[in-house]
Amino acid sequence: MTMTPRLRKFALTAHVTSSVGWLGAVLVFLALAVVGLTSQHAQTVRGVYLVMEPAARLVLVPLAFASLLTGMAQALGTPWGLFRHYWVLFKLLITVFATIILLGYMKTFRIMAGVAADPSADLALVRNASPLLHATLALLLLLVTATLAVHKPRGLTRYGWRKQHEQRAPSQP
């Protein structure tokens, strides 16, 4: 299935927007994580861990799924395909992996928000280095996918090689 040029441009715009938006949102979480660990104001520290859960649910998760789905549509609707080129396959695997980790991490966000919402909980219990670690790793993964998308390094999968040969074969005498 090949998309029309207009639809292809729309899908590409949606994919770039959602992917870059996801990367930007992760940067904001990185900043929040640093503020949560370093701020001297108790209310600011509690506020950071309280806001992370709804922000992740309303921004990170939708952007992750939007990036994944628009990327798949973009690959399947163009000659690139989903499993023909290694760079596309790696992007898909990294995005699926990051989305699964994010969905699993939502429970941690809820636990941290629960501790932060309890006024009797000590501030040392509220502070948590885990979001800093996870946001850093997420940022690295998303930078790898962005680099792959821009450079598109050569390399056909075995399936892509076979398909390419099948397409060329009928045109040969």
Partner 1 sequence: MTDSPRYPGAPRWVKVFGIIAIVVVLLLVVLKLTGHHGPGRHMRSGDVGGHASSSSVARENEHDDYLDAKAIGKAQRKARRP
161 near partner 1 (CB under 8 A):
yes
Where residue 81 falls (left for φ over 0; alpha for ψ -120 to 50; beta otherwise) is left
6 near partner 1 (CB under 8 A):
no
Smallest separation (angstroms) from partner 1 to the CB of 90: 6
In three-state secondary structure terms, 156 is: strand
Q: Residue written as tokens 């996801």?
A: 22
Beta strands, E only, the chain: none
Q: Which of 28, 129, 143, 147 binds partner 1 (CB under 8 A)?
A: 129
Q: Which of 44, 79, 165, 167 binds partner 1 (CB under 8 A)?
A: 165
In 3D space, the residue among 135, 157, 9, 28 whose CA is nearest the CA of residue 70 turns out to be 9
147 near partner 1 (CB under 8 A):
no
Q: Residue written as tokens 């790793």?
A: 137
d(CA 160, CA 9): 24
By CB under 8 A, what part of segment 108-127 binds partner 1? Answer: 108, 111, 114-115, 118, 121, 124-125, 127
Q: Which of 62, 105, 139, 146 binds partner 1 (CB under 8 A)?
A: 105
Q: Residue written as tokens 């932060």?
A: 116
- Name the site residues for partner 1 (rule: CB under 8 A): 37, 86, 90, 93, 104-105, 107-108, 111, 114-115, 118, 121, 124-125, 127-130, 132-133, 153-155, 157-158, 161-162, 165, 169, 172
